[in-house]
């Protein structure tokens, strides 16, 4: 039998119609990393006389083209370039046999694939309206022309050239130049064979010819800091929270129970991963009755001491605690436990790390081109250029990304005031007025309006919350409603009431004997309580850096401090607005919070002598949340003046505050706070005449909370004696430094 013979490609004519070798200009640009369209010169291209094959593989000994049962070795043109002309009538589906150190590897040629971004993607990118930007840019595992690999795409309009480096090319990006997709400023390359878990960065040639290695701004996964590479990610998580999502939008958030436990995940129980937290955090929060958790920033950040507020990876959950799927698992478990998940979101600024966003492609890109507008005066960071449509797109899509990809229920937007004002923390001469001569940052206003409108349109049931410390008009007004200032509303769902926080904490820090001189610090909040939809926050910012923990702000001895704290918490839960409490404060931790070791859980250990004192405060928080959720009067009309009535707001000499909350049907809850250290017997309060008797539903002085167990008659029946402008009144025994709630019996 004759021996089988491998078919050979017909010989290339000695004098081809054209030379397949690259010209010197293209070679120089590819070697320098400044070629804007390598696909036009690399790969396979029909030319007179056949098909020209050109390959750029530095450090390669030999390259052979393989297709069907044919093989043709290319000529070594030096410096990693190989070429050949084959007498073919069309470009075949070919592969490359590449030889390194005497070993041949068969692989695909990245330069035989069509672009992965279509005209619609590029159109939306150009307009700054690509609401699913994470699907268009960044790294994504795809199958193209029957081949699986990873598409890399990055926005770098000022770059002379962009190449991708990673483990697949031994971090030498020379042989993987990306193509520029025209005026979009996007560079793209599909790399066959690269898959999930691969590390990568972009090597960018700046306008001055220098090079910089950058992490992917759109990376969905990163290395664990201090390492800075991006990682190709593929999600395998299967969500189990369909029931939660189906009912999330049933009731508007400002008319629903909303009691928030703020958590710094890395220090809540130090050392726990996302998946380990998923076994403990939902159970703990459910036991205490909070409706939501708020996570301090989870997006990737290089310095743990920033608590996540200086973000470098806006699309990646921090790798310190696990993978993106691990974080999804945590959110999923919280939802399955009936707990909503808010997260802090930081679109105001970003750090200057040379591998991240700062002067990303050699010139100001994400930051403002004007140094006075770019540099944040307080934090040493750079402010985003909200007037650039691609930057707005990056941030608006990021907000949508967290809500849609991670099922986040709300975004608490950090540092809104620093975004809204051009003169924020700047002296005269350090800022330039807007086109109307004002101090408002019109670009930031437009961005916040667009972000809120987009999130509310795309993500039913999601709430946005502004951390805004000024009297900006209309933070929670719809964007299409103009106010007295002439601006449309910013469109947030809720706003942190920083004024209430500062005033009420200032009042509580005074010795009771002096509180009569500061009575207005408690009552003033009701002057503006309905100007916005408010959250009452006792956040991480109030229990660090010398401000002392919540219980340590209170005057008096240990008993009085705890009594003040309990009375304050019950007053806060009854006050119009939603509640937020930072971890550790729910059990009266005495020390300030530290991200290095988290809450002092040992205070609850039964072996500790004062554990019952701390457990008592935690028991009160649990009972506050239980009563709160069961009492629509405390949340149904938070933003409606008809839901609140003062009984007595001017009893400064007594340090007493009393008011009614009413639900949508008019059913009342009576809250009475005695913030003096005296027991007040037979304290008369005017009440509605249509309630036959009042029953005490909560008393912060109960012995099981650590109080003195001072109690009065229960139920309490009104007397026909007019008082406080009302036809009937009741007489109560008010415990010292305590708040009581009463409902119709």
Q: Which residues are catalytic?
A: 414, 467
Q: How many angstroms separate the Cα of 334 from the Cα of each of 238, 239, 277, 291?
A: 15, 12, 10, 10
Which residues make beta-bridge pairs with 147?
A: 144
Q: Give every CB contact of residue 28 below 8 A, 6+ residues apart in sequence.
A: none
What is the DSSP code (8-state) at residue 312?
Answer: S
Give the alpha-carbon dihedral of 319, 323, 326, 332, to 10 degrees. 90
What are residue 63's phi and psi, to 5 degrees? -135, 130
Distance CA 545, CA 525 (A): 26
Distance CA 161, CA 184 (A): 14
Signed CA dihedral, 532, 467, 459, 342: sign only = negative
Q: Two tokens at 115? A: 């672009």
How many CB atoms are closer than 10 A to CB 271? 9
Q: Please, what's the b/e burial string for 402-412 (b: 16 or more CB within 10 A of its CB; e: otherwise)?
A: bbbbbbbbbbb
- Largest Cα separation within the chain, whole Å, is 122
Q: Give every CB contact of residue 471 below 8 A, 6+ residues apart in sequence.
A: none
Signed CA dihedral, 308, 309, 311, 316: sign only = positive
Q: Two tokens at 14? A: 């000695």
HEC string of 560-598 equals: HHHHHHHHHHHHHHHCCCEEEEECCHHHCCCCCCCCCCC
- 737 Rama class: left (phi>0) / alpha (psi -120 to 50) / beta: left
Give the long-range contacts of residues 455-460, CB within 8 A, separation 24 or more.
455/399, 455/400, 455/403, 455/411, 456/491, 456/493, 458/131, 458/400, 458/403, 458/404, 459/400, 459/403, 459/404, 460/248, 460/249
Distance CA 389, CA 394 (A): 9
Asked if residue 229 lies in contact with residue 203, where contact means CB atoms within 8 angstroms, the answer is: no
């Amino acid at each position: 039998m004759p021996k089988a013979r491998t078919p050979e490609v017909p010989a290339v004519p000695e004098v081809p119609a054209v030379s397949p070798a690259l010209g010197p200009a293209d070679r120089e640009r590819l070697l320098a990393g400044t070629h804007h369209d390598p696909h036009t010169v690399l790969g396979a291209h029909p030319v007179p006389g056949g098909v020209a094959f050109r390959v750029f593989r530095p450090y390669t000994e030999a390259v052979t083209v393989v297709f069907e049962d044919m093989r043709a070795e290319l000529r070594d043109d030096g410096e990693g370039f190989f070429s050949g002309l084959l007498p073919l009538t069309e470009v075949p589906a070919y592969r490359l046999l590449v030889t390194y150190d005497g070993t041949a590897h068969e692989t695909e040629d990245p330069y035989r694939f069509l672009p992965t971004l279509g005209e619609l993607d590029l159109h939306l990118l150009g307009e700054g309206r690509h609401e699913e930007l994470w699907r268009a840019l960044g790294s994504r595992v795809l199958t193209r022309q029957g081949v699986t690999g990873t598409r890399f795409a990055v926005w770098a309009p000022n770059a002379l050239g962009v190449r991708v480096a990673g483990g697949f090319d031994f971090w030498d990006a020379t042989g993987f130049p990306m193509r520029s997709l025209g005026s979009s400023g996007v560079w793209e390359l599909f790399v066959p064979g690269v898959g999930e878990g691969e590390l990568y960065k972009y090597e960018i040639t700046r306008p001055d010819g220098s090079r910089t290695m950058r992490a992917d701004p759109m990376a969905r996964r990163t290395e664990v800091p201090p390492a800075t590479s991006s990682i190709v990610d593929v999600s395998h998580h299967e969500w189990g929270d369909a029931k939660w999502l189906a009912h999330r939008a049933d009731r508007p958030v400002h008319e629903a129970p909303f009691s928030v436990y703020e958590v710094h995940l890395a220090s809540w129980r130090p050392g726990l991963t996302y998946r380990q937290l998923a076994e403990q955090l939902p159970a703990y929060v459910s036991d205490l009755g909070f409706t939501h958790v708020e996570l301090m920033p989870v997006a990737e950040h290089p310095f743990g001491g920033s608590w996540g507020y200086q973000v470098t990876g806006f699309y990646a959950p921090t790798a310190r605690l696990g993978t993106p799927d691990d974080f999804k698992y945590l959110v999923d478990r919280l939802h399955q436990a009936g707990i909503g998940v808010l997260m802090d979101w930081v679109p105001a600024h970003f750090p200057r790390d040379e591998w991240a966003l700062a002067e990303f492609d050699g010139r100001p890109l994400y930051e403002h081109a004007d140094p006075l507008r770019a540099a944040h005066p307080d934090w040493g960071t750079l402010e985003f250029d909200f007037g650039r449509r691609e930057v707005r797109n990056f941030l608006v899509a990021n907000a949508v990304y967290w809500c849609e990809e991670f099922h986040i229920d709300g975004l608490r937007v950090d540092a809104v005031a620093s975004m809204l004002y051009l003169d924020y923390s700047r002296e005269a001469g350090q800022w330039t007025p807007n086109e109307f001569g004002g101090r408002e940052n019109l670009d930031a206003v437009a961005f916040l309006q667009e972000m809120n409108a987009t999130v509310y349109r795309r993500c039913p049931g999601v709430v946005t919350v502004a951390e805004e410390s000024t009297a900006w008009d209309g933070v929670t007004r719809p964007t299409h409603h103009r106010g007295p200032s002439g601006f449309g509303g910013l469109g947030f769902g809720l706003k942190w009431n920083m004024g209430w926080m500062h005033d009420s904490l200032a009042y509580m820090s005074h010795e009771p004997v002096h509180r009569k001189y500061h009575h207005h610090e408690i009552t003033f909040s009701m002057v503006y309580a309905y100007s916005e939809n408010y959250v009452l926050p006792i956040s991480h910012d109030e229990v660090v850096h010398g401000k002392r923990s919540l219980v340590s702000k209170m005057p008096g001895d240990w008993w009085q401090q705890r009594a003040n704290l309990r009375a304050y918490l019950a007053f806060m839960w009854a006050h119009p607005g939603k509640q937020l409490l930072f971890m550790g404060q729910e059990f009266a931790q005495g020390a300030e919070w530290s991200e290095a070791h988290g809450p002092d859980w040992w205070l609850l250990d039964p072996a500790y002598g004062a554990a019952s004192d701390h457990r008592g405060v935690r028991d009160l928080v649990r009972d506050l949340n239980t009563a709160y959720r069961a009492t629509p009067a405390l949340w149904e009309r938070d933003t409606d003046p008809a839901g609140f009535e003062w009984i007595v707001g001017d009893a400064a000499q007594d340090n007493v505050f009393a008011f009614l909350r009413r639900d949508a049907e008019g059913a009342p809850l009576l809250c009475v706070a005695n913030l003096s250290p005296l027991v007040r017997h037979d304290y008369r309060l005017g009440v509605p005449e249509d309630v036959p008797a009042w029953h005490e539903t909560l008393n912060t002085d109960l012995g099981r909370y650590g109080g003195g167990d001072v109690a009065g008659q229960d139920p309490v029946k009104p007397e026909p004696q007019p008082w406080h402008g009302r036809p009937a009144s009741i007489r109560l025994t008010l415990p010292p430094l305590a708040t009581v709630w009463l409902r119709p019996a």
